Structure 1
């Protein structure tokens, strides 16, 4: 696991120096000075650096960091022209200042010259131990202690602190989240990382994962520079039971380009990013409002007793709509105990429904005490974790009284009361809910989607599978020589032939069919007779990747004569398809019995996260359905089972139209074997496609029928 730096002196500094302090009103340097001196509750020393030597706010300005009087300085706030940043940072390092926040722009987000400046900063950090936050960022805000190391003019107005930690790369959208949490529990710490030349979002997540005053971590990411470090940070948060709620910008091709332009980062594959978040327990959300809402819900849901949802409303239609949404999201509807329904009957009219959903009818509007009583009863129900309360219209004082009852119930209840204000008329009831930090949703769909994400986080998403990995079935190698060849080239990277790829897989315990490489029609006939019919024959050539298109595959061969004829046809077809192709021979393998499911197992190298394992429906279906699931390697058996369960068409592995269920445990075991093989290869495998993988009935195992393996430059297959 990565070793993360201690950020205590950055988060709670005792002394700071402002490099680029200015007396010119409206300038960023002046706003920074005012935020630190006037709008913060900062009792430490503040040193101002400006070559002019003029005083600012009655304080002297020093011409350089070197000239600042002796004494410890925790953080340097640098807001000078990009061309002057390096000199300031060198002085910071020489002075022994541990942290520098560079708010200046004009770096990698701007041009190649800016990218070169960032490289210089990174080199300085490695050489001296100086830790740099930024550049191209608005600074850091410790809201809970009211310390604004930022030039933002909004700092003085956004001071609602709380137990939510916020890490972003951009400043504007981060401010949006901060202002979305202006009531109730707000943001305690806001790290806005900018270009992340040194310190980045993973460092900030890791700090907040161990900060006792932070309970939930909200993250807004545009690019991922160090995927493995991010994984380590997510692991640390999970170990400390801190939910991490992530909005990842860059899920479409257009979004990826925008994210790269803005932060000069690797945006990565959206599917892989989402898989990583699932794998390491983060909650992925789809927009800014959901980021704020789910973070707030996570905070309120820390002490839930029950797990079910109860719908409560005075509108039968709203009850039905909400119950329908809960069911569609596959959230559990709470089962109410008899004492709960009895207590509701005592309060509500006889014609009200006291089952779940609870329809109080409009009769409740005549007496606000009825709302309080119903909420109190439902919140005490052991099976209820959340009460979903849709309010379809604004009735002025009437719905205002309902809002008051919701606020009161939320203060004392372990169950989470989730109000939904469905009317576009934001009356006093809405304002009351909002100002008391309940963050009312504006649609039932949004509320249920947020509840679903929090529910899945609490449940650990998909339950861990305790099944043991079974032993491998059948043969584990292709005969025909001990050495593995160098193979064909994919682009400029060596790819192994099918024979060599299977031989290597078999060496690592992955099951492949019985077979041999043959060099003549007679040898093919003899081999087919020995291994048994029916058999399959395939051309082996470093120059022919798509064997079927070349006419290089024959299936269901039943006799030695069939094998002899097939050999000659395959070689002739290969010659016509690619006259200059080197044909090493023909692979003869025993065909597996009909009825097996065809799956794909693959590995590719993601720029941000490294080797990623993929499973999906195989054969031609992978191109048509694109039904796949991903995990970052290493993958254990529980991860493998979750991957399989995530497939949209995973039911095809069950008992379908008279077919027995597939050997899912064997498929999961194969996934783990592939993960272990790639991990042991230490970066030597760039790409691996095993397609199809034959998955037999329960007990018959999973066997790699075909394989394409691409090695990293300079890798030696015989060393694997």
Structure 2
């Protein structure tokens, strides 16, 4: 349904069209066409040409009305379609024939309601492909270019929500976007809002790509129910990163309940929450959990981009509140700054002797009675060279004295080029609250929210300073791993064949022999010349061999191996009836100390191949201590995967245990990545466990699962 990755249209004439045709213009104030016309005429500052289309009227609101869009006679930049669902396709066909650049379908009743609607959307998508006319929607509230005061929308709230600002917003649903727009009540404006609806053609990725280079947008915010085209999303986010434009995203549909709601809302593909989050981290997209957090983080990033190394100061006139804020800073893994001697001396000279002048700062109530002391002490803290951000909670409303404190904070923020993150904690919004709002500070509503916003802010800075700008996900290279298998089932590869592929990729595997008949077991055992042997069932359809009695360990003699063969074939046949049992694999057992880890790769249907790393055996399922990356892996990215897990402490040696060969582990991760990205058709590859030996000993793949696409053997 979507265009290929890399083909992004210029949306400038969608965002600010020179000519608009409103198809379905109406005098009825409560109709979609009537409300849209009212927003264009009465509540916008649109200077371009406006053509009205309605087959039943010669005039609407005193303006001439065409019976059909083809009667406009000249191509238009945007056709806004506000007619009933059964009239949408004819209107789009006529718009395309006219040479229209963009068609915006406000009408609902398509893919979100059933199969008939999905068929109509498929025809829309084909029309967009064949004609070159890009389609926005359907089932959307329109487009709000608030910085240009242009509302191509039927929303009655548009006339009230017109605060320009540095935030650019791309959403799939309409209601959530309006919530974010109305954060203007906290002092931050959303200058541009795309609401994509069912994304039959244009999608969130297109809007992110456009805003990456829009001069009036400093931060891109998005809410996503699903990503329809993974490669396009990856390219759009990388485009934003190359231009230093931060993205803040809220993904809806992480739980089973959320996924069902998202699918019924816009028929979106929600995808795996874990994979989505991993992809966001890779791309430098700041993921948030709710609307409050999205607004707090976007507003903070709009003030400027951090390095990620900044330390925090807490400034307050309530000792208990200062302690709470410092505690939250510590829980978030942030670091309180140590003041310079000069700052400490300044605070000592300004504040009473019973004030706390180390970080966190408790000024006591003196700042409420003497506003100049509040201003001077806050400025001293904010100007300290060791301080990168100041968190300033206002715990209660004290009328005029609190208002004075808010004025001091705004004054300091205007004079200091560091973020002062204000927190208005009281449910009573006194006169000091609008002072902060009008000063553009965007107060958080809780200490936890403020600290979380600072944490996300610094994480974005750390990513910016450490990411590899030259790296590109494999999905963007048009390689075979991004092909979709549809409903076909992958073909499993036998363990010894999978290990042969690993060995060819440079990953050490145990010596082994495949045996199909019991009479060949003794000979195979002798050929191995191993002191201890493991015997495993060989079946193309049994993945978890130990669950059905398909693994026996510690075999030390040929006679024991022969007996193990007979026992295993009988046991597995009873435990897993119907599976083809082809024989057994005799494999040397690894002796000596080693740590067990997992390296797994699977093809995500949206983003392509994803690598997962974590502790081996059942521990990966029990503790879920894993890291994930898109392929291909570089040595730097592979090492980062290992370092960000908690189990890295075990690998480095914990409580007397020997340190393991992490360098060899990193090499194995890169080798697996190379194998997958250069071998067509790999759906899944898992090494579980991979034995990581003590330093210098390397790694050994003790077990391997490989599944291939049916068309790529």
Q: Same fold (TM over 0.5)?
A: yes
Out of 598, 601, 606, which is 1:600 matched to?
A: 598
1:64 aligns with 2:68: yes
Compared CA separation, residues 581 and 11, structure 1 to 2 (3 A): closer
1:22 aligns with 2:20: no
1:300 aligns with 2:303: yes
Out of 4, 10, 15, which is 1:11 matched to?
A: 15
Q: Give 1:470's aligned residue.
A: none
Compared CA separation, residues 122 and 673, structure 1 to 2 (3 A): same
Out of 139, 145, 148, which is 1:145 matched to?
A: 148
Q: Give 2:385's aligned residue.
A: 382
Aligned partners of 2:507 and 2:701 also within 8 Å: yes
Measured after TM superposition, the shift of residue 394 of structure 1 is: 1.3
Match of 1:141, SS state, is strand
Out of 658, 664, 667, which is 1:660 matched to?
A: 658
Aligned partners of 2:307 and 2:461 also within 8 Å: no
Measured after TM superposition, the shift of residue 654 of structure 1 is: 2.4
Aligned partners of 2:306 and 2:461 also within 8 Å: no
Compared CA separation, residues 303 and 529, structure 1 to 2 (3 A): closer
The residue correspondences of 1:308-457 to structure 2 (distance < 5 A) are: 308-457=311-460
Distance 1:266 1:85 in 2: 24
Aligned partners of 2:614 and 2:647 also within 8 Å: no
Measured after TM superposition, the shift of residue 628 of structure 1 is: 2.4
Measured after TM superposition, the shift of residue 520 of structure 1 is: 4.8
Compared CA separation, residues 53 and 697, structure 1 to 2 (3 A): same
Q: Which string of whole-angstrom CA distances, capped at 9 and with x for unpartnered residues, describes residues 455-491 of structure 1?
A: 111111895699xxxxxxxxxxxxxxxxxxxxxxx99
Aligned partners of 1:65 and 1:88 also within 8 Å: yes
1:162 aligns with 2:160: no
The residue correspondences of 1:198-237 to structure 2 (distance < 5 A) are: 198-237=201-240
Distance 2:208 2:494 in 1: 44
Out of 683, 687, 704, which is 1:707 matched to?
A: 704
The residue correspondences of 1:263-278 to structure 2 (distance < 5 A) are: 263-278=266-281
Match of 2:491, SS state, is strand
The residue correspondences of 1:646-685 to structure 2 (distance < 5 A) are: 646-682=644-680, 684-685=681-682
Q: Give 1:240's aligned residue.
A: 243
Q: Which string of whole-angstrom CA distances, capped at 9 and with x for unpartnered residues, describes residues 61-94 of structure 1?
A: 0000111133x41111111111111111111111
**RMSD of Structure 2 on Structure 1 (CA):** 2.2
Measured after TM superposition, the shift of residue 713 of structure 1 is: 2.1
Out of 69, 76, 84, which is 1:81 matched to?
A: 84
Q: Which string of whole-angstrom CA distances, capped at 9 and with x for unpartnered residues, describes residues 271-290 of structure 1?
A: 11111101110000010111
Distance 2:84 2:697 in 1: 68
Q: Give 1:107's aligned residue.
A: 110
Out of 51, 65, 68, which is 1:47 matched to?
A: 51
Compared CA separation, residues 564 and 98, structure 1 to 2 (3 A): same
Compared CA separation, residues 152 and 574, structure 1 to 2 (3 A): closer
Q: Which string of whole-angstrom CA distances, capped at 9 and with x for unpartnered residues, describes residues 43-78 of structure 1?
A: 1100000001331222100000111133x4111111
Q: Give 1:587's aligned residue.
A: 585
Q: Which string of whole-angstrom CA distances, capped at 9 and with x for unpartnered residues, describes residues 91-145 of structure 1?
A: 1111111111110111001121111100000011111111001000000111101
Aligned partners of 2:688 and 2:701 also within 8 Å: yes
Aligned partners of 1:511 and 1:703 also within 8 Å: yes
Distance 2:303 2:542 in 1: 59
Compared CA separation, residues 544 and 67, structure 1 to 2 (3 A): closer
Give the number of equivalent residue pairs: 691
Q: Give 1:480's aligned residue.
A: none
Distance 2:344 2:500 in 1: 67
Aligned partners of 1:222 and 1:248 also within 8 Å: yes
Aligned partners of 1:615 and 1:644 also within 8 Å: yes
Distance 1:415 1:577 in 2: 66
Q: Give 1:549's aligned residue.
A: 547
Distance 2:611 2:63 in 1: 59
Distance 2:453 2:116 in 1: 44
TM-score, normalised to structure 1, is 0.92
Match of 1:703, SS state, is strand
Distance 2:556 2:468 in 1: 42
Aligned partners of 1:540 and 1:585 also within 8 Å: yes
TM-score, normalised to structure 2, is 0.93
Compared CA separation, residues 127 and 343, structure 1 to 2 (3 A): same
Measured after TM superposition, the shift of residue 169 of structure 1 is: 0.7
Q: Which string of whole-angstrom CA distances, capped at 9 and with x for unpartnered residues, describes residues 520-542 of structure 1?
A: 55644444444322222212123
Distance 2:488 2:401 in 1: 71
Distance 2:117 2:349 in 1: 72
Moved more, 374-383 or 542-551: 542-551
Measured after TM superposition, the shift of residue 185 of structure 1 is: 4.0
